[in-house]
Structures are given as C-alpha cells and as structure tokens.
Structure 1
Amino acid sequence: MSATDTTVALPLPDAFLAALEEAEREHPEACMVLRAVRSPGGAILDFEWLWANPAAARALGRGPEYLRGRRLGEVSSKGGIAGRLDLLRQVVESGRPHADHFTEGEVLLQGTAVPLRDGVLLRLRDITSAQRVEEGLRETLDWVRDVLESMPDAFFTVDTDWRLTYVNRNAAALTNRSQEELFRRVLWEACPELCGTPFERMMREVASEESYRLFEVRTGRDRWHEVHAWSSGRNISTYARDITDKKRVQAERDALLAREHSGRLEAEALAQRRTHELMAARERLMQSEKLAMAGQLAAGVGHEINNPLSYVAGNLQFAVEQLTPLARRPGLQDAVGEALEALREAKEGAERIRVIVRDLQTFARADELRLGPVDVHAALEFGISMAMTHLRSRAQVERHFGQVPPALAHEARLGQVFLHLLINAAHAIPAGAFDRHRVTLTTRREGAWVLAEVSDTGLGMTPEVLQRAFEPFFTTRPVGEGSGLGLSICLGLVRSMHGELTATSIPGLGSTFQVRLPVLEPIVHPVVPAVRADDGPCRKRVLVVDDEPQLTSVLRRILGRQHDVVVAHSGREALALLEQDDAFDRVFCDLMMADLTGMDVHAELSRRRPELLSRFVFMTGGSFTERARAFLQAVPLPRIEKPFEPGLLHSLVESSPPRAG
C-alpha cells in the first residue's frame, strides 16, 4: 500500500464471515468478499480480498491465505477480475448488484457482484462448456438454415397451434409473401387460400394421427408440387417438390393415348416385337459364347486328334508305298491287292478326319483378326460342307468356279459368311421340291477384285424387303425363328476384310448375294531345281524333335529310306544333342511339348547357337496359346500342320539351307 492511499472500510462481523465460510466451503461455485480501498478523500482506488472459498482459490490459481489482503492487480490480469475495477466501484457506490462475463485465463466466468458494507460479495460460475455448447448449437442451426434456404424445394414447419415456426424462401415464394410476413402467423390465416383444399385435409390428418402423408397438389394454374408431410414432435414438417414437368409429360402421354387408342395398341405390339428381338439377340449372343467355348474345345481336341492322326496317316501312306510294288508281282496280286485297297480306304478315312478337324479349327481361329491370302474356293467348300444338312432336302448345289487368285481376307470369317449365305438360301427355298431348285456358287475375277456369288431359286424379296435386308433385327421370319442379325453381321465381317456385300432379288425367282474381296497377288518364289536321279544320292541328316514316340517313328520311317534321321523325344534332349552334334540339314521340331516347348528351344538357341535356327521347321497340331500365336507371327520360320503329306516332308528336307563348310 502506497503512502497516498489508505483502507477506509467498515469491518464485517466475524460471525458473518464464519457463517459464509461454513456455507460456501463445499460450494462448487467460486465466492469471495472484496473490500474497497479508498483514498484519503474517500475515492475507491482498488479492492482487496477479505475472504475466498476454496472454489474461488482454485479458479484464481492461488491459496485462500495468499489471497487475503491482496489487491486485484496483484492476483488477476487486466482481462480478468482486475479489469472490472470500474464495475465493482459502481456496485459499491450505487448499492445495486451487477452481473458480467469475463475471461480469467482460458476460463469464461459469469460474475455476479452484490454490494456488501463498503465492499462486494462476488460469486463466479464457470460457463466455458455452456458457452461452447451454445456456440456449437448456434453454428448447427446456422448450417441447417443455410441448407434449408439453399435447397431448390419448398420447406416449412408449424407448431401444434398451426403457427409457422420456419419458412424457407421457396415456400414463401409459393404464397407470394415474404418470410417476415409469414413467420409466427397461423398458417390458415396467413394463407386463407389453402382452407378447404385437399392440402388442408391431408395436413390435419397428419396432425391428428401423428403420421406421414405423400400427396400431390396444384399450386398454380399450370404448376404442381409433390408434398411430403410428417409429424415430428410438437411440429409438423412439410417438404414440397416441383413436379410440373413430370405432370406435363404425363398429361401429354395421357392425351396421346386418349386420342389414338389404336396407336397405343400398335406401340404395345411394337414393344412386344422388340422384346422378342432382344431376346433373340440375347440367345444369339449366348450362342456366340457357346461357339467360342466350342472353338476352344475344338482347338484342344483337334490338337489331340492331329497327333495320332499324323502317325496313322503316315503309316498308312508308308504301307501303301511298300505294298504297291508287291501288288504287281505275279501270284501276289489278289492277296496284296485286296490289302492294298483296304489301306487306301483307311487312308481316305484318315483324310476325311483331317478335313473335319481342319473345319473345326477354322471356327477355333475365328477371333484372329489378321488378314492374309485365302482360297475363296476352299472357303466356299467349307460353307457347303457345314450347310449341307440344310441344303440336302431343298436344292441341288452347282459350282461354276473360275480361275481366281487368292483374296485378302480372313479364312474363318469368310467361311462363316458363306455358311450363313448358304443357310439363308436354303431357308428361301420351300422344302419338298429338290429337283426344281438350285443353289449356284459362282466365282470370277474383275480387275482388282475377287467375286463370289451365292444364288438361289427361292421366293426372292420385294424391293421394300431388299432395301432393309442388311438392317440389324430386320427379319421376315416368324417371331422366334430369326433374330434379323445374320445378314448385318455378314456385312460387318466382309467390310472388316475391306470388301463389300450386296444383294439383288426378284420376287418369285430368287436372290443373289455377291461378295467382293480385294485380290492378293501371289508372291513368286524362285523355283528350286529338283535333284535328278542321275545326279546320285543326296542323303541329308534330319533331326526330329517330338514327345510323341509314334510320330517320331513314322517320320523316321518316311524319311529314313533317303536320309539319316535322328530322333529326340523332348526339347531338353534336343538341346543337349545339338550341343554335341550340330551337323543337321533340317530340324523338324514340335511347337507344343510337355518338357520344353519348341518356343523354349528357339529362345535358348537364339541365345547360344542362332546359326542353327535357319534349319528349323516347326510342327503344329492346331492348338495355339496366346504365346504360340505371337511366336508364329514374330518368327519367320516355316511351319507345317499335322497330319502332313510325305511329299511335303521330302520337299522341305531337299530345300534345306546349306550347312556352313
């Protein structure tokens, strides 16, 4: 205390302080008594602590004994109690209590000061948590209000007395009134136009039943809203969405259906037809998936058949060649001739099996997109063989094939096109008149194009039908008997091969479908002069690599009379043999083997002995993995497919490249 001020105060009774101490000792709120410090002239200069309960001491971070006699500035900061000196002075001088909020440290306190004999009784309550809750609630309410105001639809709430407790701007806009005009007013008084309407009836049902209703109301001459109303505690909430466009569409649809009842029936018939067409398309897609699976199965089965078929056909050819000279000897003609005839028939049967397997593999390769030289006649023959079950009872097949070069096409896809055109021709011919009807196949060359025509003497097409023949889903067959996709798919396949598919037809006389494909001029290879018999024997060394013992045996048997044949039964064995002896003129290597594949052998020799690769010929059974397809496209080495002709084997051996030295 300085020399210029003094404490002038009336002492409080000790009994009062004792009673206050006893009453406030365990109270959770802070309570303290501050005594005024006056100047000699009587002015209040400061306040000092006379007494404080434990809660007050904890709030100020000091002990009760420390506080007693301390002034405000010695304990509190300017932002706390010390900053409320003028307010406390006013309480003492006016004799009236006062409440205030202030911060002491990080705690928000609510203080209530009561005058008390030249001092104040100050009670403090911590309202920090309450303030945070209030601020959070205020922020949440602001967020909810922003959401409700920004939504594109109308929303309002009413209490149990039908007073509007909230109205967003879109709801107010519906009534052509402002939000301020509507707030806290009774709904039916603020909007009398709603009285007696279905809207009022539904709202009162929600209020009485405390339930939920969904209904539509007209809110203007040409305006409709979909209303959701539900009871929520003491309020009824209402949400209205503008459905004017939806109602307009419905009205237009209803008017159209009312004006044209026959048009509706036609639309239903059309929808039913399209449904059947989509179902047919779905069945066709499922059939395509089945064909794809069948193709994969055909590729695997063809590979397994081709291996034994190779040595069966080879052995039959070898037996025929061995027995033919014996059949010319006197006395053996009858016995050997009959056996020779049986072998030739067996050889023909093996050839038929080979053709069937080849046709199956044609389907298996249908997804390959590479174009190359294709024999159009072979593709037509494939289509005839596959469609013969449809043609046999309806028409005779006539061929008028000309001299045509190979076409740039895709063998499997072209075969599918001809197959469908032939089946289409068969369906155009009525059954039971086999002798009177023909299906004619014609080929010729016109400039840079190869033309193939499929003509029938069937019912033909009218100009209207012919104009739409290639449209997807268009068909003249009964529902369930045709999807209308066949000719459109054929057109897409031919165009993918840079060709064109056209049709001409005369009702009652038949139709002609013409396929135009670009010519692929053959590459002229230099003719290798044949080795004459008087030039003397030219025996060469041949290595056969295959994991089928019977196949290696037949190759040894076919080639062994003119050449020296060495056999390796695995890729690993072949690599070991070539490390010790590489003096082979030709190497026949199977592409797919269990130990090391032909591709693995090629990769290893490319790294260690690349000069040997020019002598390789790969043998395939028709089953190609993705790796095998990529390999055959990337590696420019000859390949032969099983079963193979003996003459081809001899030709490949005789045309082998010369060995070094």
Structure 2
Amino acid sequence: MSDMPASTSPLLIVSLDQAPLVSLLSSLNHATVSAGAPRAIKKALRNESTGVIVFLVTDPQSAELAEQGFDYIRHGLADKDRLLVVAHSSDYEPNALHWIEAFDINHFLCLEPAREEINCHIIQRCVKTWSRTVQLRAQYRAESDLLMSVTRLSRSEERLPDLLASFCDSLAQISCAAAQCRISIDRDGSATLKHHWPQQEQHNASFTKALQLPSLPSYLQRALTECKPQIDLLPEQSMFSALADQLERPLSSYLVFPLVVYDRVVELMVFLIPEDAMDSVSIRQIDVITKASEQLTMLLERREAERRLKQQYIRLKNTLVELKQTQTQLAHSEKMATVGQLAAGIAHEINNPLAFVLSNFGSMNEYLDSIFTMQSLHEQFLAAIDHGNQSLSAELKSQISASRGEMDMEFVCDDIRDIVAESRDGLNRVKEIIADLQSFARGNDATPVPLDLATSINQTLKLLKPFIDEQVTIQVDLAEAPDLKCHAGFVQQILTNLIKNALQALQGISHPDPNITISSRINGETLFISVRDNGPGIAPDAQKKVFDPFYTTKQVGKGTGLGLSVTYNLARKLGGDITLRSNPNEFCEFTLSLPYPEQQPQVASASKETAPLSD
C-alpha cells in the first residue's frame, strides 16, 4: 500500500492491507492516516496530534510489522500516552498476553461483523480520550507559559504590553476560550475595547454589544469590585448570540481576569468559553490562575512603583539642579549686596586721598605759574646777554632775584616733592582699596589654591575698615598651620560675613572693652577658624534658626536674612562646616572647619599675628 501523507488526524491505521477495515472505517467520523512500512509509521508519528494507532494483524508478517511499531513507540519514543489498538481477524490470534506485558496495548479488537458496533465505539472512545490528553497537554503548556510570562515580567526588560499579551494568550489556552478580549478601565469606570480575538472586523461590534460597552454588565462589575478572577456561566445567552454565530460555536461560560494595580482595576481580560469546553477548566487550574493573579498584581505594582520612583528621581534631580543654581545665585546676590555695602563704606576711604590729591593739584597749578614766570625771566636774561645789552641784562638779573625772593622758590621746590609723594601715596591707597574690593567681588574661581589665611583676613579687615568703630579692638591670633588648598574666594566671603556680623553686633551697645577675636587652630586634619565677639550674643531659640534662609534678628530693612545661610552653604561647598556657640550677654562665636584634602603636602606657612590692620 502506498504511504499517505501525515495530517492532523488523531487516528493512524497501520496495515499491509486495509480491506478488513473498510467496513469499520466507514462507520467512523474521523479522518485517518494509513501507513504500511516502519519508515511510514515513524513519519506519521511525528505529528503529535496523532495519538490512536490501530494495528491490523491478520498474519505473521503483519504481526511482525505491528511489533516493530509497538517497540518504536513504547521504547524508542518512550511514549506511554499514545493509545495502541490491535485489530485482528477472527482466524488469527496474536500473542496478546506478551504484547500487553511488553508494550502496554490498550485494546484488542476482533474484526467480526457482530462486534463492529462495539469496535467502533471503542475506537471513538480512544479518540476522545486522546483529544482530552492533547487538550490537557495544551493546558499544562499554557500553565507553564502563564507562569513563565509572570517570571519574565519580574525579570525581563521586555515591553510590558508584549508581556501582557503573552500572558493573555496563555490564559486563553488554559480556559480553552473560543474568543477573548482586553478591556481598558478608565478612572471614571468607563470601559474601552482594547483588543479582541478573533481579530476580524465584524467581531468588533459583536464584542461591544455582548459586553455592553462603554458601561459594564453586572458580572464584569463584580470583577471590578472584588479585584479577583471570576469564572461562571454567561448570564444572558442572547447578548452573545451574534458572536456565537460568527464563531460557529455556542458560548456558555466566561473567565474574567482583572489587572489590579494598587487596588484599582486598570484592565479586564475576558475569555468566552464554548459549551463543549465547559468542563475543561479544573479546580487546580483555577488555583493556578488565582496564584498568577496575585503574583501579577504584585509585579505590576512593583513596575508602577519603579516608574513612579524614576519620575520622582528625575523630579528630585531637576529640583536639586535648580536648588544648586538658586544657592549659587543667592551666594552671588549676597556677595554683590556685601560688595555694595562695602563700596558705600569705603567711598569715604577713597574720597579722603582723592580730596587731598585734588587739593594738591590747586597748589601745583600755582607753583607751575611761578615756575613758568621764572623760566620766562631766565630766557629774557639769556637773550640780553647774547645781544650784549648790559643794562637790560642787569635789570633782568635784579628782577629775577626779586621774583625768586617773592615766590620763595626753595619752598616751592620742596613742597612740589612733598605734594607728589603725598599724591602718590593717596592714589596707591585708592588702588589697594579697589584691588581688595575686586579680589572679593571676583572670588569665584573654583580652582583650589593655597590659602594665605593671614592675607585673606588682612584684606577683609581693610575692606571693613570704614565699619570698624574706633573703640572696637580686633585681635588676630593665627596658629602655624600647613597650607590648605581650597577656594580662597569662598573663605574670604565667609570671613567677611562673619566679621561684618560681629561688628554689627557691637554697634550701639554699652561695653567698656568691645573686641573681636579672629583665631585659628589645627586639630588632626582639620583647620578651625573662629570669629568671636563679646557682644550681646544670640538667644537660644534663635540659635537653631540662624542658618535658615531669610531668617534675621535685625530690624526690618537692616538685613536680608541670607548672609549666614549663604555662609553655611559656602562652608558645605568647601567640604567643611560652620557652627555657632553663644551665651546671651557674654559672647558669640562662629567657627569654620575646613578639612585638609587627602595626600595634601604639609607645608608650614601661616604665622601668629595681632591687629593686622594697616592704612
């Protein structure tokens, strides 16, 4: 017999001659595949849907072919699930006991006309058993796929919509659904058909009608309320009649699987189960679906938490950038405000030398007139000598002597030297003041440089000289310390703010000996710089808030409340800190601590000074 191609038929007939089976096969409503050689048998068994194999045994030759097939299936393929049926003629008895023991034969059929109906029933029952086995296998695979999709959701970076689609397909396989759809649930409870299968256009209206969208029927509302999978009979068959007609399968039950994120259903997966598959979903599979629902909810909530966390991180990052920019702007604004105050204060310091320089210009103008007059007389005297005019030269000589006495030229010459020296000193003083002010205003270079603490304090005190009352004593006591590489401009701005605050604290108070002490010390790998005054101090309740932005103890209009806040932020930028120690009516001391960077060369430089103020 010629080999027939493999098909999706569950029934395989193995025989050398099909004539004895013609009557039986005509009674079956199943397509069959026939094979008459070992190679053809192996080829037909590649199709997993072929699970009922009927071996026709009528003589020793066909018995040998059957035994080869048994051995290949049970031992070669190690397949214990396929159903093996032996159909033998009434005049040939196979070795049934041996075959049952060796190959686990399921049925033996005697091909007698009287037994044809029984034989047909046995084969049909085998086909149904195999179909159920295939269905269970598909459901088990679907269970595995379902759990795998949940696992992939927890580990994979795959797109969430793709993973949910795979999850939905696995649920459809488990429930043996004839149709499925996904419904998106808005926050107001309205529903939108997101996806459906089969995907033919005509099914769209049928799904919408059956599910009563955009509102939801009561059985779907229950899934929204309970947030758990629901499986039950369809309440109104008429609502699904159009869809059932299109599917050509009557629908009888449903499975609703809600996707829950933080106690809110965001999507419903609806599976419509046909009548012939009502009993396909077992209690065990319902448990699997329930467990998968719990795991999926946790994973979706984790994904949502990660998404929110990323958004919050981005917002915090942007806020931090804005905060740093604002801090930089505040520091710059406070510095410019200090520059403005210093500029107003040192205007007097600049005006004094400029005033006597301008006054000296008036004296210089008079002296120049006298010098030009004497020069003119000398030129006339020399001309008279050249022309031999003795009388004129004698007259001019007498006039020169008289003018020299009247103009006091010796005094003029000496005074010009003094005026030039005084003017030079005054202009140099102006130059120094402007240089100090520029050094303070432009101290934004972030390149670390060795800190000359004594010079920084000296420059700061020069800038603040107009604000220093004559009765206030300022002492500078600096310990010998290694050079500290840091942002010197920041340090000078901090010192300016602290010393200015100390000077303002001593203004308008009655104290026999108002003084400010600026000191430094080394402790381990940290440099401490302190500014202490013996003014009224700061109240305990205010000490906790002095570094807060816009907090000030001064009168309205006397301070912005940013000075100490900016000072604190600058200290943190330098990697250090600033602390306050104060006793009311006794003292107030701010201490700046600056760490030495690791592996910094230790070079002794600073010295101990007292009152570094100089004009």
TM bucket, shorter chain = 0.3 to 0.5
The structure richer in strand per residue is 1
Alignment TM-score, normalising by the size of structure 1: 0.30
The structure richer in helix per residue is 2
Alignment TM-score, normalising by the size of structure 2: 0.32
